[in-house]
Amino acid sequence: MVPLKRRKVVASQTGNTGTEGGDEVKFPQVVLFLLERKMGASRRAFLSQLGRKKGFPVQELFSQTVTHVICENNSVEEVKTWLESRGGSRPAPHLLDISWFTESMRAGEPLEILDRHKLQEQQRDESEVVFFSVPSYACQRRTSLENHNAPLTEALSLLAENAELSEDDGRGVAFGRAAAVLKALPSLVTSMSQLRGLPCLGEHSLKVIKEILENGTSSEVESTKKSERYQALKVLTGIFGVGAKTAERWIRGGIRSLHQLRQAGRTLNRAQQAGLEHYDDINQPVTKAEAELIMETVEKAVASVLPGAQTVLTGGFRRGKLTGHDVDFLITHPEEGREVGLMPKVVSWLQSEGFLLYQKTTRNSYLESKDGPGRPASSMDRFERCFSIFKLSKEEETRTEDPQEETGNGDPNSTKVMDKQSQWRAVRVDLVVSPISQFAFALLGWTGSKLFERELRRWAGHERSMSLSSHALFDNTQSKYLRASSEEEIFAHLGLEYIPPSQRNA
């Protein structure tokens, strides 16, 4: 260590760097400034006084003459930001940890600045700053419904949605992954430094996050929300059967609202007609209670046409969500093959009982010989889907809410004329039938979330050289299908820790 030359200088020579108490300035070549943030005012006052007593010039206010900024528990980014807010300083002062100060006090002279004295990332106080560590694939981590960073994730999700509506899928996925990483964090993010090292946070997402942390809102999110194009895309794709492409075409044709669409006299397909007719109902969230009522009806239908067949609730409700945009069911039979032809029978039953406002059944074209495991190539249509609009009677809800309804009020002519809204509502319902041999894959595939599913497939492909679908898991290395009769087995095949449905809310 090179000892610094001691010089005795009187206070008046050093301007405002002085020593109010009349302490002699021994080291005019160093001008200290102690940062109050995190250190606190009283500790700062005490340390400043100590410094002056030892002959160090300590400035009360920051100025260009400061050569050493002393910090306690501050990150280097934080101090640099603060310095910039002061208009910077030329030459830049040393940004030092409190350790340099205390050691210099002990030595009675300014010590040579060693690397460990310099404010560095690792010198942040780990107990003060909350660091997060998150694995990069959503299927490697747990994401509950508890979201500690809703303002950030909602902003990023909106940008993801806007990108998807604009058919910019790459950007949609990028924003979606960034939102998912923040959803998985165990507590609130308060500073950018906490995000260091987190996966999937690209430049654009970080810019949005930074703006929200600093100003409370993101200008890009606000302008997107206000944009006519985004609003029109949202309204039009809110129609069941209308995707981004169709909405875009209509917008180019000057259609921006449901009213304009009706006026324009466009030819709508059957799904879109039903979607437009039941627009308000379909865009109103489905509650868990409503999902359970529909479940009862679906179970009744299934039991009537194939005793022994089983129905499970999948989608968001299986993940524990309290509301959803639809209700998803997976149906199977414990004896392989018994499920063949089940879907048309279930649909017919529901139709004859007046439960369906719309339905479209698609046959399964999945072949083991071509695409995955299952049964002989002769039976093709075992894995079927039905996208439907269910007519959910509100009778029971009304009755329990209003006991007068059951007992009557004495006047036989006073039958309350209820409008349509109070008697039933339209609910989107998805039905899927799977053979038992594929049930675990179908269950995993239809439980979601969509991002969790996408990440599972990406993990399988990129990290395991396997192909995962709602039917099967194929190991490309061994050139064989990996069977599974439970979701746990599929996670195990993929080399992933099992994540229960309630933790798949990525």
Q: Which is nearer to ligand CTP, 18 or 324 (CB)?
A: 324
CB of 334 to ligand CTP, least distance (A): 23
Q: Is the dihedral of CA 454, 217, 202, 491 positive or negative?
A: negative
Q: Which is nearer to ligand CTP, 198 or 444 (CB)?
A: 444
Total residue length of the chain: 506
Six token digits for residue 312? 């499970």
Which of 241, 315, 372, 501 is close enough to bind ligand CTP by CB under 6 A? 315
Identify residues 273-312 at the interface with ligand CTP (CB under 6 A).
Answer: none
C-alpha distances out from residue 294 to 208, 324, 385, 425, 439, Å: 41, 13, 17, 12, 21
Local structure of residue 273 (DSSP, 8 states)? H
354 Cβ neighbours under 8 A, 6+ residues apart: 391
Q: Which is nearer to Mn ion, 44 or 321 (CB)?
A: 321
Which of 241, 316, 372, 373 is close enough to bind ligand CTP by CB under 6 A? 316
CB of 315 to ligand CTP, least distance (A): 3
C-alpha distances out from residue 395 to 294, 403, 405, Å: 13, 12, 10
Size, binding site for ligand CTP by CB under 6 A: 14
Q: Strands 286-287 and 68-71, how do they pair?
A: unpaired
Per CB under 6 A, 487 contacts ligand CTP? no
The greatest distance separating any two alpha carbons of the chain, rounded to the nearest whole angstrom, comes to: 108
> How many C-beta atoms lie closer than 10 Å to residue 462's C-beta?
10
> Do residues 315 and 501 touch, judged by C-beta distance below 8 A?
no
Which of 445, 455, 484, 499 is close enough to bind ligand CTP by CB under 6 A? 445
> How many C-beta atoms lie closer than 10 Å to residue 213's C-beta?
17
Q: Which is nearer to ligand CTP, 194 or 434 (CB)?
A: 434
Show the binding pattern over residues 457-476: x = contacts ligand CTP (CB under 6 A), - = does not: -------------x------
Q: Which is nearer to ligand CTP, 104 or 447 (CB)?
A: 447
Q: Which is nearer to ligand CTP, 34 or 138 (CB)?
A: 138
Local structure of residue 56 (DSSP, 8 states)? -
Per CB under 5 A, 290 contacts Mn ion? no
Per CB under 6 A, 450 contacts ligand CTP? yes
Local structure of residue 478 (DSSP, 8 states)? T
Residue nearest to ligand CTP (CB): 316
Size, binding site for Mn ion by CB under 5 A: 6
Per CB under 6 A, 18 contacts ligand CTP? no
Q: How open is the CA angle 352-357-363, to the nearest 5 degrees?
A: 80
Per CB under 6 A, 172 contacts ligand CTP? no
Which of 383, 446, 459, 474 is close enough to bind ligand CTP by CB under 6 A? 446
Residues annotated as catalytic (active site), given as ranges: 326, 328, 430
> Do residues 373 and 471 touch, judged by C-beta distance below 8 A?
yes
Does residue 376 have a cis peptide bond before it, meaning omega lies within 30 degrees of 0? no
Per CB under 6 A, 321 contacts ligand CTP? yes
Give the span between the Cα atoms of 11 and 292, in whole angstroms. 81
Per CB under 5 A, 430 contacts Mn ion? yes
Residues that bind ligand CTP (CB under 6 A): 315-316, 321, 324-326, 328, 445-446, 448-450, 453, 470
Residues that bind Mn ion (CB under 5 A): 315-316, 324, 326, 328, 430
